[in-house]
Amino acid sequence: MNGREMEKRLQELIPGGAHTYSKGADQFPSNAPKVITHGKGVYIYDVDGKTYLDWCMGLYSVLFGHAYEPVVRRVREQLEKGTNFQRPAIEELELAEMLTDIIPCADMVKFAKNGSTVTTAAFKLARAYTGKEKIAICAEHPFFSYDDWFIGSTPCAEGITESEKRLSVKFKYNDLESVRKVFKEHRGNVAALILEPMKFEEPKDDFLHEVQALCKENGTVFILDEMITGFRFPLGGAQKYFDIEPDLTTFGKAVANGFSMAFLAGKREIMEMGGIEPGKKKVFLVSTTHGAETHSLVAAMATIEELRNKKVIDHLWNVGEQFLQKVPAIAQEIGLSDYVGITGHKYLPLMTFKDHSKEDSLGFKTLFMQELVKRGILFQGMFVSAYMHTQKDIDRTLDAIKESLQVYRKAIDAKTYRDLLEGDPIKPVFRRVN
């Protein structure tokens, strides 16, 4: 079977054709790679024999590069020793010691396999700790969990009860008044508030600390989601960078360079509610068969050691800074400054795409992605950098961006992308109807 045939068969066997909706066929142009055989460094290879420079890096999870030898070597050694035991493995203690040492708020940690698990666990703890029900979610931060408490707040709310939906309320990032409104309208009943320290926009006017103060004033557990920022900021995460200690925090994505690993961390007085100390009420926190598989734990330890010994974050941020500086100049040269932009922090630059009417356009974005694929580059809107991206990779990408924007210019002049797009435009992940 070729790639298209495999993609069709995947959709017949697996709902959505993949195990993460953002990997789905509806999230890429029709000429994108269909099925990947392997990756090495910052390149991926598909079943049709094509090679792509990767700016997606496994949904942010690959920090150094695919099959990065210092991590793979540690995993390979651990596989020879076994991966899962009936009693705690020494690696659980070793990694817990490392994490509580580097993360400011971490008195205790709990391991799992994905971010949704530990984020939902954080809310369970918060509700037990406060005796309250509602949770406040930052509206601008696009994904916290596949569990009902979050998905019920999106257009994809089929199968979720109205009672569950009512328990989640939203506020806006960098809008302190919207946070005050949440506490006013749900006075005395907000168990937890969650947000990323930042997504593309940095906190302004001491926003994070002001939100934390409101949480303390209202008896609400303050949670920072560091799934993405955690290991793409200097060790300790964005919370250390912005000098703020949440009550609870969640990490995942890049903590083990692509191996399945996530964790919940936080203050002892809250975290210990999930413990087994005699005489205390017990919160059934997280209890997963594979949550502490030793190969993922050593992958995380190897990742931390690499971050300690090499200037990884400096490199990632330098890559991002180059795109933030050079993409606007390319757009200006082609006369597209009003239609194509780039925003965000150097840890995760985001390109923006508008149509001839200067409205946000998934169709024009798809056209741009299509043109990059033609030039051997996989891109989904953000530049997710890795330690193994080189200056040659950056320069090649900038050249491809320039060529692709020349096609984009033709579409703007024609006032439509449809004559140049080969297939359908991408769709929002969160939608009521396919």
Query: Alpha helices, DSSP H only, in 263-311?
Result: 268-271, 294-309
pLDDT tens, residue by residue, 177-233: 999 999 999 999 999 999 999 999 999 999 999 999 999 999 999 999 999 999 999
**Model confidence at 91, in pLDDT bands (50, 70, 90)?**
very high
pLDDT of 433 higher than 90: no
> In this structure, how many other beta carbons lie within 10 angstroms of the beta carbon of residue 346?
18
Degrees, nearest 5: CA angle 203-206-211: 90
Q: Rounded distance, CA 18 to CA 26, Å?
A: 11
pLDDT for 37: 98
What per-residue string of b and e applies to 5-22 under the rule 16 or more CB within 10 Å gives b?
ebbeebeeeeeebbeebe
Beta bridge partners of 193: 136, 222
CATH topology classification for 3-60+311-414: Aspartate Aminotransferase, domain 1 (3.90.1150)
Span 392-404, mean pLDDT?
A: 99
pLDDT of 161 higher than 90: no
pTM for the complete prediction?
A: 0.95
pLDDT of 146 higher than 80: no
The backbone torsions φ and ψ at residue 112, rounded to the nearest 5 degrees and listed phi first, read -155, -170
Q: CA nearest 55: which of 409, 316, 402?
A: 316
Helices then strands, counting H and E runs in the chain, come out as 14, 13
**Model confidence at 432, in pLDDT bands (50, 70, 90)?**
confident
Query: How does strand 350-353 pair with strand 248-251?
Result: unpaired
pLDDT for 60: 95
**Model confidence at 18, in pLDDT bands (50, 70, 90)?**
very high
For 69-309, CATH number? 3.40.640.10
Cα separations in angstroms, 270 against 24, 124, 130, 223, 248: 38, 11, 10, 12, 8
Cα separations in angstroms, 240 against 71, 73, 111: 25, 30, 21
pLDDT for 155: 81
The encoded tokens of residue 166 equal 């009512």
List all residues 6 or more positions away from 45 whose beta carbon is below 8 Å from its beta carbon.
Answer: 36, 37, 38, 39, 51, 52
Domain locations along the chain: 3-60+311-414, 69-309
pLDDT of 324 higher than 90: yes
